[in-house]
Chains A and B, each alone.
Chain A
Amino acid sequence: MVLQNAIADALNNTEWAFALAECLHIGGFAVGIGSIALVDFRMLNLGLRQQTPARILRYTEPWTLIALLFIMFSGLALFSSQPGVYRINLIFPIKMYLLLAALLYNFTVHRKVATMEKPPPALSKFVAIVSLLLWVSVVFGGIFTGFLV
């Protein structure tokens, strides 16, 4: 509670702190979702075809994890600055459920199929499309949180 108030004060009193948290949030998802999309594009046979999805996942997973940390900390800071506003927002909880679904999916189904030796091509493509749709819907949810109260 004390921590939350301290963060809220810093973000409310220094306009730049809120802007910085927003920039970290955007930079974070550019890297986080962008690195997952690299695996998805490969699973859809649309990029880096010379490599296996598993190999691309091995390279990009550390970026995804680091970026997710940035996204979560900056997101928590943004939330703590005006929790009341987010609590009554109709879109925000939907965004959070989508985020939870995207995270669970990414580290279970997506990971499993991306690392399979020879997955059926249709399965691979389906899993990649669901992954892209989930992450894109999280981005849409974030923007709509700011527009539809």
Chain B
Amino acid sequence: MDIAHSIQSIDFLTEFSESVLAYPIVLSTHLTCIALFGGMILATNLRLLGLTFKDVTITQMVTSFRSWKRLGGTVMVATGVLLAASEAEKYSPNPFFWTKMIVLGLILAHGAIFRRSVYSNTEELDRSPVIPVPAKVAAILSLILWTAMFTMGRLIAYWD
């Protein structure tokens, strides 16, 4: 709790959380990332499941969006850190916040676990007559994790 208090007492974070405009602008930017990059995540996962974009190769799908997803993820994390740090005392006992952080950790782990078999192996996936199981598992897990991510994000506000 002391650490949380010290974090949110950092001058610029206090000014930020008390600002009429800065806080909602950063929160809106955080959500805009969901709006702009949510489609890319969904499209990639549905393609891995073989449900749509059938004449787009998995390689095209994954490589085309890779740098955009990284950019979106960076902005999301940067704005998220700012939002959480400015209200650290409110966030630190919040179970939804910590669940969200665990989900974030799982999303990073997901990327690392499936890198070799799916995300860096797309040409092999495209050559395969049927989409291999690991690719489908990766897609389903990704959809579940991202749904959990925004749901937990919203539920943070419901803890008092």
Greatest chain A CB density within 10 A among B42, B60, B150 is at: B42
A67 to chain B, nearest CB (A): 10
Q: How far is the CA of A59 from the CA of B47 in the complex (A)?
A: 11
Please, which residues of chain A bring their CB within 8 A of the CB of B60? 48, 50-51
Our pick among B41, B52, B158 for the contact of A59 (Cβ within 8 Å) is B52
Interface residues on A, range: 35 or more
8 Å CB contacts to B: which residues of A43-81? Answer: 46-51, 55, 59-60, 63
B20 to chain A, nearest CB (A): 7
A23 on interface, CB distance cutoff 8 Å: yes
Contacts A135-B35, A139-B35: A60 and B43 contacting too (C-beta < 8 A)?
Answer: yes
8 Å CB contacts to A: which residues of B28-81? Answer: 28, 31-32, 34-43, 52-53, 55-56, 60-61, 64-65, 68
Please, which residues of chain B bring their CB within 8 A of the CB of A142? 31
Q: How far is the CA of A142 from the CA of B35 in the complex (A)?
A: 12
Greatest chain A CB density within 10 A among B36, B42, B150 is at: B36
The answer to whether B35 and A37 have CB atoms under 8 Å apart is yes
8 Å CB contacts to A: which residues of B106-160? Answer: 147, 150-151, 153-155, 158
The answer to whether B154 and A59 have CB atoms under 8 Å apart is no
A30 on interface, CB distance cutoff 8 Å: yes
Give the dominant DSSP class at B's interface: helix
Residue of A nearest to B29 (CB): A140
Greatest chain B CB density within 10 A among A23, A30, A132 is at: A30
Contacts A48-B61, A60-B43: A148 and B38 contacting too (C-beta < 8 A)?
Answer: no
A12 to chain B, nearest CB (A): 14
Please, which residues of chain B bring their CB within 8 A of the CB of A55? 55
The answer to whether A148 and B31 have CB atoms under 8 Å apart is no
A31 on interface, CB distance cutoff 8 Å: yes
B27 on interface, CB distance cutoff 8 Å: yes
Our pick among A19, A34, A41 for the contact of B154 (Cβ within 8 Å) is A19
Our pick among A23, A38, A51 for the contact of B39 (Cβ within 8 Å) is A38
Residue of A nearest to B35 (CB): A33
The answer to whether A147 and B24 have CB atoms under 8 Å apart is yes
B23 on interface, CB distance cutoff 8 Å: yes
14 contacts between A and B (CB under 8 A): A23-B151, A26-B31, A26-B153, A27-B151, A30-B38, A31-B39, A33-B39, A34-B38, A35-B43, A50-B56, A139-B35, A143-B28, A147-B20, A147-B27
Closest A-B pairs by Cβ, 6 of them: A34-B39, A30-B38, A34-B38, A33-B35, A147-B24, A143-B28
| 5 further contact pairs, Cβ within 8 A, besides A34-B39, A48-B64, A135-B35 | A27-B147, A29-B35, A59-B53, A142-B31, A147-B23
